[in-house]
Structure 1
């Protein structure tokens, strides 16, 4: 069977790769979560105003949003493991900076550096796609995608315990230690992916996207402080629209864009990204509401009067359930596909929030809500990278999953702003202190339910994948297998073998498809028999470039009529190159 761009790993990975990459994702989640237990104390700890203290959280969000698509693209170009290690190293430096200071500006710098670790999630998914066999890919990507929730769920009670009994700076030392451990494990257990995208890094595109994201996310996160109708908030929103539109026009014209907007505009990618925003909204609401409900004094009549640590333990099942849904997702996706799995996940989230409206009277009820929501969010989060991976070329995996992770981050940012505003506007003033009300908590759950309903509608618009033929000889062990078999049964593209000067097949040769504009339209690696298969996006003239160690490079012109058939084309490499 020949290799394809989308499904066949370019090199086999050891058994430690998946747990190590998932651990890196958990470390990123810990970095995000470690300040949650001390949020309300930050103004006193940093000797600053509450509105200024929120920059400690906003800075991490902004840098993470900027770094995620950029690090994904850099990983596609220069090596995903290399960029993963770099992301974690910057996070470690940021954690140490934060650990050594109680000054606001220095703390903001440290937290900004820590936000760069957000790029680890799409880079880990990209590494898995490049290296894992298809039968392991579904559950592995599910675990990686869920690691944000897993890490958050586990870190919340641990961070609360540290914050209660130690100097709060110990949180950052702990995050730095976990980051160093993740780097060492990555270097020891994860090989570098040989897959590389063609072209160069789009610096202007990166600057444009970064500027647009900052202009968009700043008013979202600070709008409640500045006023939603203030000139600053409205001006930044307007500026973000202008900058992002100009950035989009630029990306459509540049030869090697940071984000291929034509690929992003495909229904499978577009609706997945829009649904990701809704899943992000739903995920963050429970993280904001339940800890506050659990810690409010029982004297309020609805607060559950639990300590910070107990509150963290009650919400921890959210993350643990997400972790346990990874193998469940793999089985469901293998049988029904990631679209159906996403819909099932969203329905479970809706049940969790709907039932949660009546399960707020005891700590055990919040645990039930956390378990149900964890199962639904785990299935939904696990489906998103599979949908993206199935819709983009292998050379764009990092950038495409980076953009998808960014969409989730935008969802959590919107959720934080909206729920914060709802809780503030419905709070009771008790002795100058704003106390959230049960009405505010229930309205927050209703908003999450509405977001899930929108997500369901978007998921229904996702293209339906054709079912694999019944007579296929190989049993599809995952959705990736099914996609591969369908592609080989009705392929529109080129296929053949890569041969040496002596006519012998050449394995592991890199074959790149280049369109008439000089842009990469696909890439693959030849199999052990020299076989390769490349799909074409449309009819027209192409160049197939092939290269392999010990052989000279080859560029062969070919054209495709656009019909649903494969054009047979063998590629004969010249004799040994000088460098070999």
Structure 2
């Protein structure tokens, strides 16, 4: 299965059936990605792990996505998006099958790592769309693909509980994987070949390894610090290790002839602000993503609701729908109002919602409404940033730019999830091991404050552009 470039075929305009095929695949991938969210409390009980350790189940997928996405985008630019996409789907399918047969946490994490390759499908889809559609049409198409990827969360949210409770949690991974295999066959048949761009540049595998090490060290460091009661010296050593890995990655990327992530793009004010805003917005959204299912599952005799996996899925469903709608709206909003205005509106909504939720979280409808508002706000803002930036650069840079934004988006969600897991683990009762209500209050307030940072970034970046 060599990926050596072949002669560029004549350009073929992407038709509706091909876009629909990409959308169906995105829907199946979104389903596989989202089954963990409502079932995470169940997985923690079944596997006997803490909230911080449970956060690793979802983050294993996100970490892989963060390091694979830039490579996938570059391979797609060089060898053709369709060709690379099909190969990545083989890896995702293997990961889904492995997770579906996992007997313990380490094997499940390995399966999630392989599934994380699915995040690389997004920039590959953008490459295909951008090569065959106009800039205006690309904005809409990107929004549609993202909407269906997010829409898969609706399906995953609904089916996770019934499958886990009537069959087993293994089935949550097996059934969506079968759908991915089938939809990949459809994409292979309908999507036209896209012309590759010949290049002798090598893949920056050193950058891939260092970024993977940095993210994993940070995630595992949070788990260790909050769960093991380490002395200050050990905590400092972990911090030094993370900083050293991050510094090494930046140094490698700056010197590499063909860097994994072209950090020179960050020198452009618009690109720098888009990345920082995406990171801040998704970190806040990731915190909400983790905190709400945990609060729904908390015992009803205290401050929680004692909800099972199916009920948690129903509580999260309106938010999943709002997220799907927001992604389709984001591309249109970016073209009409500009990404900056969309980000400000989304930030105000998210900040206000989280600060309010820190005080009012005694009724299920309050949490459901908060999920709807934050999912819509974050989805519209990040999609507007992605679509606006992707169509503002040259066609040849689309893969690099979208990969950089998608990897930032993934890192943000992963950071938010792991930070929330660390907050709950730090606030757990030493007898029951369950997080106390103050831990949730701290988590919601922190998520609101993180979101508010976006307003400062918008103001600073605006002054920078004027200067």
Aligned to 1:403: 404
- Contact kept? 1:259, 1:400, Cα under 8 Å: no
**Distance in structure 2 (CA, Å) of the matches to 1:143 and 1:268:** 24
1:378 is paired with a residue whose SS is: helix
Aligned to 1:488: none
**Distance in structure 1 (CA, Å) of the matches to 2:339 and 2:333:** 8
Aligned to 2:325: 324
Alignment of 1:100-111 (within 5 A): 100-111=101-112
Q: Does 1:294 align with 2:296?
A: yes
The alpha-carbon deviation at position 379 of structure 1 amounts to 0.8
The alpha-carbon deviation at position 118 of structure 1 amounts to 1.8
Structure with the larger RCO, 1 or 2 (CA within 8 Å, 6+ apart) = 2
Q: Does 1:256 align with 2:258?
A: yes
Q: 1:292 to 1:40 in 2, by over 3 A?
A: closer
Q: 1:73 to 1:255 in 2, by over 3 A?
A: same
Q: Point out the structure with the larger strand share.
A: 1
- Contact kept? 1:359, 1:369, Cα under 8 Å: no
The alpha-carbon deviation at position 275 of structure 1 amounts to 1.2
Number of residue equivalences? 455
Larger CA deviation: 162-171 vs 402-411:
402-411
The alpha-carbon deviation at position 276 of structure 1 amounts to 1.3
Q: Does 1:351 align with 2:352?
A: yes
The alpha-carbon deviation at position 81 of structure 1 amounts to 1.8
- Contact kept? 1:70, 1:399, Cα under 8 Å: no
- Contact kept? 2:51, 2:424, Cα under 8 Å: no
- Contact kept? 1:223, 1:233, Cα under 8 Å: yes
TM-score (norm 1): 0.70
What are structure 2's unaligned runs of at least 5 residues?
1-10
Q: Does 1:340 align with 2:341?
A: yes
The alpha-carbon deviation at position 353 of structure 1 amounts to 2.1
Q: For each residue in 1:173-219, what CA deviation from the matched residue of structure 2 results, as whole angstroms up to 9, or x when unmatched?
A: 11211221331232133223325374423334434444444444442
Aligned to 2:369: 368
Q: 1:291 to 1:349 in 2, by over 3 A?
A: same
Runs of 4+ in 1 over 6 A off after TM superposition: 47-54
**Distance in structure 2 (CA, Å) of the matches to 1:22 and 1:110:** 24
Aligned to 2:78: 77
**Distance in structure 2 (CA, Å) of the matches to 1:331 and 1:48:** 42
- Contact kept? 2:41, 2:297, Cα under 8 Å: no
Aligned to 2:25: 24
The alpha-carbon deviation at position 92 of structure 1 amounts to 0.4
Q: For each residue in 1:439-494, what CA deviation from the matched residue of structure 2 results, as whole angstroms up to 9, or x when unmatched?
A: 3222212111111111222233445999xxxxxxxxxxxxxxxxxxxxxxxxxxxx
Q: For each residue in 1:469-526, what CA deviation from the matched residue of structure 2 results, as whole angstroms up to 9, or x when unmatched?
A: xxxxxxxxxxxxxxxxxxxxxxxxxxxxxxxxxxxxxxxxxxxxxxxxxxxxxxxxxx
Q: 1:465 to 1:37 in 2, by over 3 A?
A: same
The alpha-carbon deviation at position 87 of structure 1 amounts to 1.8
**Distance in structure 2 (CA, Å) of the matches to 1:177 and 1:159:** 15
**Distance in structure 2 (CA, Å) of the matches to 1:253 and 1:186:** 37
Aligned to 1:456: 455
Q: 1:55 to 1:249 in 2, by over 3 A?
A: closer
**Distance in structure 1 (CA, Å) of the matches to 2:82 and 2:464:** 31
Larger of the two Rg values belongs to structure: 1
**Distance in structure 1 (CA, Å) of the matches to 2:71 and 2:312:** 36
Aligned to 1:92: 93
The alpha-carbon deviation at position 45 of structure 1 amounts to 4.6
**Distance in structure 2 (CA, Å) of the matches to 1:266 and 1:352:** 32
Q: 1:433 to 1:64 in 2, by over 3 A?
A: same
The alpha-carbon deviation at position 319 of structure 1 amounts to 1.8
